[in-house]
């Protein structure tokens, strides 16, 4: 496991119907936003935690999204 923070990087989460949200890395950690949200969520300490947080905000039973770095 690496201690490197990927500041300035963005990952887009794709579900079966297309993009559902994104994760943005900063010096403070990783923030999550669904497409329907107007603001970013709390900052999470790692990318894996942020991916889990994004998935938990989807509808119950939603498949794990595919994350693509942009």
Per DSSP, what are the bridge partners of residue 15? 18
Sheet hosting strand 43-44, strand order edge to edge: 43-44, 29-34, 18-26, 10-15, 66-69
Q: Is there a contact between 8 and 25 (Cβ–Cβ < 8 Å)?
A: yes
CA–CA gap between residue 47 and residue 5 (Å, rounded)? 9
- Residue in the structure block whose two tokens are 């935690």: 49
Domain ranges in the chain are 10-61
Q: What is the pLDDT of residues 22-65, one digit of tens each?
A: 999 999 999 999 999 999 989 999 999 999 999 999 999 999 99
pLDDT above 80: residue 70: yes
């Amino acid at each position: 496991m690496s201690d490197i923070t990927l500041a300035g990087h963005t990952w887009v989460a794709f579900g079966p119907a297309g993009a559902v949200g994104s994760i943005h890395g900063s010096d403070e950690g990783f923030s999550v936003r669904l497409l329907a949200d107007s603001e970013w969520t709390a900052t999470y300490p790692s990318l894996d935690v942020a991916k889990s947080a994004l998935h938990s905000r989807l509808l119950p039973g939603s498949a794990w999204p595919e994350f693509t770095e942009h």
